[in-house]
Amino acid sequence: MRAFVVLSLFVGLGTGVMAQDEETKCCCTTYDMSVCLSKIHDKVDAELNATYEKALRLTQRFGDQDVENLRDAEQKWIAYRDAACKAEYGLWGKGSGGPNAYGMCIIRLTRQRTNDLKNVYTKMNR
């Protein structure tokens, strides 16, 4: 039963990644998925970094404490992301799907964080 639940979770996560990143098709072998997810990770990580840098620049006009607050929040978010994805990885019991589940989690949470930063700091910039 656990294998069915974990397999369902993996398939569901994979579908989400493909739906969110239509230009890249992640499928087939574990290796193929790993290579594909690595490319997506690089892309979403670069977008997060650019969005975060923009948010820092926008925050500077409010003061040093606000910049420090954003930096602190980002460090804590990274710790949260890593812990949450480690927990998802643990569902695989060290199986071969674990690294890809971890990668999909990192991608999903990174996209969420990027969107959160855009929503908050775009509104600030109006």
The pTM score is: 0.78
Q: What is the spatial distance between Cα 76 and Cα 6, in angstroms, rounded to a whole number?
A: 28
Domains in the chain, CATH or no CATH each: 2-124 (1.20.1270.180)
Q: What is the spatial distance between Cα 17 and Cα 37, in angstroms, rounded to a whole number?
A: 9
- DSSP state string for the chain: -HHHHHHHHHHHHHHHHHHH-TTS---SSHHHHHHHHHHHHHHHHHHHHHHHHHHHHHHHTT-HHHHHHHHHHHHHHHHHHHHHHHHHHHTTTT-TTHHHHHHHHHHHHHHHHHHHHHHHHHHHT-
* Residue 108: per-residue pLDDT: 96
* Sign of the dihedral through C-alpha 122, 83, 5, 29: positive
- Residue by residue, pLDDT tens for the chain (126 residues) are 444 344 444 444 554 444 454 435 788 888 889 999 999 999 999 999 999 999 999 998 888 999 999 999 999 999 999 999 999 999 998 788 899 999 999 999 999 999 999 999 877 765
